[in-house]
Structure 1
Amino acid sequence: MNPVVIVPTFVSSKRRREGGVLTTYDHATPIESPGELPRLLASLQKVRGIGAIIVLVVSDRSIEAQAVDKVQAVVSRYPALSTLVVGAPEMDLLYQRMEQLGLDRLHKEVGLSSYGAIRNVGLVLANVFGFDSVVFLDDDEVVDDAAFLQKAMYGLGKLTKKGIPILAKTGFYFNSEGSFLSKSQDKWYNHFWQQGKAFNRWITKAMRGPRLSRSNHVCGGCLALHKEAYKRLSFDPWIARGEDLDYMLDLRMYGSDIWFDNAWNLRHLPPDSTSEGTRFRQDIFRWLYEYRKMEFSQTQIDLLQVKPSSLEPYPGPFLEPGIRRRIRVTAFLRSLARPDKRAYRKAARAATGEATTYAERNCSKYFEFQFIWPELMSRLENDQILCDALLQSSSQRAADLYPEVVPSAAGAPTLGLGTRRAIDPGVTSEIRLNIQE
């Protein structure tokens, strides 16, 4: 297969301010800080068969130009990697081309402004450049396994013994302690919010099973998608966070699934995240939106019903009717015990106010967008005009920053186009699996 690696990276201004519910990210590197991206790129140099890498630069609007230049400078330190940096200038080219083709600009749905929309940019670019698969990584990870890409492609695009196509798969993270388990806090104030504990029960069972099994969980920074999945289905740009797990639910609604590969992994080494209370507030928006979205999906005759009982032990309990009460109680208990009291109180109010309103107002929009997505992908597939424009833009920026290294735009990065080598997943056309239905 011919995968492209997509890496979103987040850059913040010196005076970092909390963004909106869709534009607050777990960790954004201050513009003056090197961040974690260099560590990831250094580790990718050791991966066998590594080909094209696309780095998506997400930043405050006030520093868009500086952020792209900063990331370009980082990428230039790893000339052995074929890397394209995509920021605001390249997005302008994408939107211009969409207009030329008679497509809506879709800034909300495809853009550098929310977790789901950012991933959609990656899918669109993979389609534009003609890659048959996508591997998503996060910039705060380290890849230790030289066979990482080969393992990523294992089974992808193949059939199970029951004839089920494997079009999406996820691996798992090792944390800083070398464990795949969540560092969940089994404290009294989390009695009604055992998210980490539920996840640990699920992954412990999955790790004891066959190499590939149906997954109830998705690691967005260790995720592989076949073109037959990403051309058909986008990520949801209206979800506050957890867009990776949401993609699994979307796939099920549309008749497909995500598979868990217990031999495919990397290390996740995130820096200190934002305020606990702020993150929990996003979780409130996320789960209330997800609950309402699943409710709405049950009114659509063309979608399969996904019931919380089919998602035990995780994330089923967070998609049941009692989620609103559990949110309020947990926010109140944490406000008594955790340092970020004010943020938790604000989060508790959101459960019965703006988060509920947001879910009601937006729960149908993703399904409306899905009528547009396949047409968007069809018109942009292998678009040579846009390919050339994007590569030229990246090359010119590199030449402006490092004229002694790139003397002219003629040395445009190619992303390996025309010379790409397929990654051999090392399996036959049919995979024999023991699947627990």
Structure 2
Amino acid sequence: MVKATVVVITRDRPWKVKRLIESVFGPELPCLSLVLIDDSTSENFKKIERSLAPYADVCQHRSSTEVKSHIENVLKQTGLTPTQKSCLKVCVGLKSPFHKFARSLSRINLFRDQFLALLSQSFAPYSTARNLGIYSAHREFNAQRIVFLDDDCYIRRPERLMDALQLVGERMEGKEIVAVSGLYQDLSLYNGDRTHRYQKPTPTAILTGMKTFLKCSFLTQQEQRLAIMPSHILGGALILSDKVFLRLPFDPFIPRGEDHAYLIDFKARFTRDFTMVRDNLFVVQHDPPSIKPRRLQEKNILRDIFRFIYLRFKVDQCPIPFFTTRWALKSLVGMFLEPSNSECRLLQLWALLFLARLYAKRNAHKYSNIVVAWRFFLEQLGTD
């Protein structure tokens, strides 16, 4: 039987994690183990620990700090070069490229203090936590498949997950399927006829209740189950084969949207022999996102500016006139419509026209070295 490990990243949501745990270890899913990277408070960490007690033999529950410390000790015993060790530390969050970039801004006076705080506190990438999950799944369970789920998701239809897992290793259009992405189903949109929805097997029926963004991003035709090399994937419903996750880490230079960046990196490196599919019938239950505070929304805009410009530099498409013009106009108009928020708009303009480009120029070429170090590191773990 193929060894599959569910990897979940969480912080202070024990009630949601308990629900997810119960869905993962149901009788219909006998082959799964679980890695939980948990940065909750001590009280919430203990609550989750109690929920995991019946499944202790197939679970690893650690904070990111614990896993990082373990990796740091392992690195001392490996044959990696100093440069490769440095790359690995960035890959798993032992070193932050955002902190390094923030320190380099000491000679830049305009908005220096604001960006120092933002880069140091608000740009912690989710990608490094995912890489910690991969490391743990490989070391503890020798996983052949990893199932990434978000902590606000759970499995309502386990047979759909099993079907999606069985897709990995199959061939399509002459290439081996090594990754499968699924979809979210927002429960709040199905009140009143939830059973009726689940009885319909067509992807179109499932997508009927999705929000506008997902409808646009995951277009499908009636009765079409699989979409080959989709334009977007969901990191909270993602299955990866060891042929991928042992060779390709999540990009630690991305402040958010690491799942989309992973798809771009996959397409750049693996499309000759491998393919990725979206299974429109692999649907996980997903709680509707809460309305984010205005301050967090503004931070996410800045993170997106850094993300999009970095990705364009990374794929050698540095000129981005449409994106730059669109965001510049939006920031300028916002300054006039909301004078009280003008400083935030100026921060966005400064990031858009200068800082994000400087960050991308310095870091876009470094991911390739991280990929090499990641492969060598996990290969050495496999021979221990």
Aligned residue pair count: 320
1:364-403 aligned at under 5 Å gives the runs: 364-381=365-382, 383=384
State the alpha-carbon separation in 2 of the partners of residues 337 and 182 from structure 1. Answer: 32
Letter in 2 for 1:77: S
Q: TM-score, length-normalised on structure 1?
A: 0.66
Is residue 2:343 matched to residue 1:325? Answer: no
State the alpha-carbon separation in 2 of the partners of residues 239 and 118 from structure 1. Answer: 12
Is residue 2:40 matched to residue 1:40? Answer: no
Is residue 2:38 matched to residue 1:57? Answer: yes
Structure 1 residue runs without a partner (length 5+): 12-28, 60-65, 185-195, 299-318, 384-437
Q: CA deviation at 1:228?
A: 0.5
- The answer on whether the counterparts of 1:277 and 1:340 sit within 8 Å (CA) in structure 2 is no
Q: 1:74 aligns with which of 41, 48, 52?
A: 48
1:276-355 aligned at under 5 Å gives the runs: 276-295=297-316, 321-333=321-333, 336=337, 343-355=344-356
- The answer on whether the counterparts of 2:170 and 2:176 sit within 8 Å (CA) in structure 1 is yes
1:37-436 aligned at under 5 Å gives the runs: 37-46=17-26, 47-49=28-30, 51-58=32-39, 66-67=41-42, 70-81=44-55, 82-87=58-63, 88-103=65-80, 104=85, 106-111=88-93, 113-128=124-139, 129-160=141-172, 162-175=173-186, 176-178=188-190, 180=207, 183-184=211-212, 196=213, 200-205=215-220, 209-256=224-271, 257-269=275-287, 270-274=289-293, 275-295=296-316, 321-333=321-333, 336=337, 343-381=344-382, 383=384
SS state of the match for residue 189, structure 2?
Answer: coil
State the alpha-carbon separation in 2 of the partners of residues 250 and 295 from structure 1. Answer: 13
RMSD, aligned CA? 2.8
1:146–1:354 distance in 2 versus 1, CA, 3 Å: same
Q: CA deviation at 1:268?
A: 1.8
State the alpha-carbon separation in 1 of the partners of residues 346 and 163 from structure 2. Answer: 44
Letter in 2 for 1:323: F
Q: TM-score, length-normalised on structure 2?
A: 0.75
- The answer on whether the counterparts of 1:57 and 1:85 sit within 8 Å (CA) in structure 2 is yes
Q: CA deviation at 1:212?
A: 4.5
1:49–1:341 distance in 2 versus 1, CA, 3 Å: farther
Q: CA deviation at 1:259?
A: 1.1
Identity, in percent, stands at: 24
Structure 2 match to 1:4: 5
SS state of the match for residue 224, structure 1?
Answer: strand
Letter in 1 for 2:292: S
CA deviations on 1:83-108 (whole Å, 9 max, x unpaired) are: 21122223212220121123326322
1:207–1:252 distance in 2 versus 1, CA, 3 Å: farther
1:202–1:86 distance in 2 versus 1, CA, 3 Å: same
State the alpha-carbon separation in 2 of the partners of residues 329 and 135 from structure 1. Answer: 40
SS state of the match for residue 79, structure 1?
Answer: helix
Structure 2 residue runs without a partner (length 5+): 95-123, 191-205
State the alpha-carbon separation in 2 of the partners of residues 343 and 37 from structure 1. Answer: 35
State the alpha-carbon separation in 1 of the partners of residues 150 and 46 from structure 2. Answer: 17
Q: CA deviation at 1:271?
A: 3.6
1:207–1:140 distance in 2 versus 1, CA, 3 Å: farther
Structure 1 match to 2:196: none
- More helix by proportion, 1 or 2? 2
SS state of the match for residue 209, structure 1?
Answer: coil
State the alpha-carbon separation in 2 of the partners of residues 146 and 182 from structure 1. Answer: 20
